[in-house]
Structure 1
Amino acid sequence: MDWPRYGRVTLKPFGAGLTEAEWKGLYETFRDPEVAEWNGSSPLRTPFWLFKRFVQAEMRRKDRLAFAILDEKGEYLGTLELYDLTPEEATLGILIGKKERWGQGYGTEAVRAALAYAFDVLGLRRVKLRTYAHNLRARRAFQKAGFREVGLGPGPQGKEDVYMEVRREDFGPEA
């Protein structure tokens, strides 16, 4: 069980198999209206069995790696993905589904674990992301994890987005 870790969090690959509690946590993450709004989507209305089938099909894609974010007790907190994966770069996506854990540094720690994995294990040169410009909490967390802002622009939801990236040469143990 040599999964990516940083601080209090562990990234459990979906390919390792999710427990029933982790599946339910993942399902509830995507059903929550507030989480969906911050993700630029609508709350999930799909039945659990169909959601599970869809996620299992997505796990077979070669251009993405998905992880359950587990806290220091091994309990589900959210999900993190590296997608649009190439030999050179990936895009990062993260959702902390347990809202009572927001603002406690778990997201930053999960991103640090993912970046170390992306650079040290996968050998990527760059990881990028896009988030809402008005989401100052997320922007600060990404910056604390090592990302820097590289541009602003209109996003698909009609809101201004900020584009961020971190390059391998700029990523250190405590960026």
Structure 2
Amino acid sequence: MRFETERIRLRKMTTEDAAIYHKWRNDPDVMRTTAPLLDVYRMEETEEFVQQVILGSPSSKCYFMIEKQSEKPIGVISLINIDYKNRNAECIIDIGEKAAWGKGYGTEAMKLLLDYGFLEMNLHRISLRVFSFNSRAIKLYEKLGFQQEGRSREAIFRDGAWHDIIHMAILQRDYVEERRTGDRRRQGL
């Protein structure tokens, strides 16, 4: 399995990643569109979290996104709540470096994670949750083939208003078919 594109590569987290992750985790702008609870974390709490990820929960896979040209971490992408029996998982993505926002890194990382989840792990279904005000993320997920399955109405309070949490998922067969037809389109067939 190739864990890289021309511009980014994914690698597992290390204890050295705690400091940069701590910075992202405590930045309200970064967490505004992904974290249900905006909070301030102590460095010890972040180190403990990273240690749990590194020691490896069998129900999660967490990777740092590295921008290859600079070799700098720009975000985190994960499969969590992996249910091996039913071949399901949930994905989470955070682009922590604001300078990397809007440059397509999220699309590249999601494709790598979906390839890994569906083609290597043989998952049947990958789901996610997205806040209704995060229209850029919703467009990205739909472009990748995710479908809306439901919503938790007014489940999050942000910026002085209530917003829905949208539940989306993609099935392995749909992802594989979309990859196949996309490859044919690119080849002009």
User: Which TM-score tier does this pair reach, normalised by the shorter chain?
Assistant: 0.7 to 0.9
AA partner of residue 70 (structure 1): I
Q: Relative contact order, CA 8 A, sep 6+: which one is greater?
A: 1
Q: Work out whether residues 12 and 62 of structure 2, in 8 Å CA contact, stay in contact via their aligned partners in 1.
A: yes
Aligned counterpart, 1:46: 42
- Does the aligned pair in 1 maintain the 2:18–2:46 contact within 8 Å? no
Are 1:81 and 1:94, in contact at CA under 8 Å, matched by a contact in 2? yes
Matching residue of 2:50: 55
Distance 1:137 1:56 in 2: 32
Matches within 5 A, 1:97-108: 97-108=96-107
After superposition, the C-alpha distances for 1:119-156 in whole angstroms (9 at most, x for unaligned) are: 11111011000101111011111122332222222264
TM-score relative to the length of structure 1: 0.86
Q: Give, in whole Å, the separation in 2 of the partners of 1:53 and 1:66.
A: 15
Aligned residues, how many?
Answer: 169
Percent of aligned positions with the same letter in both sequences? 24
- TM-score, normalised on structure 2? 0.80
Task: Report 1:87-102 matches (<5 A).
Answer: 87=84, 88-102=87-101
The structure having more radius of gyration, on CA atoms, is 2
Say yes or no: does 1:165 pair with 2:169. yes
- Paired residue type of 1:166: I
CA positional deviation for 1:100: 1.8
Matched ranges for 1:100-119 at <5 A? 100-119=99-118
Q: Letter of the aligned partner of 1:93 in structure 2?
A: I
Q: Which moved more, 1:122-131 or 1:54-63?
A: 54-63
**Tell me, what secondary structure is at the counterpart of 2:165?**
strand
CA distance in 2, matches of 1:45, 1:32: 10
Query: Any stretches of 5+ residues in structure 2 without a counterpart?
Result: 157-161, 184-189
Gaps of 5+ in 1: none
Provide the C-alpha distance between the structure 2 equivalents of 1:8 and 1:151, rounded to a whole number of angstroms.
34
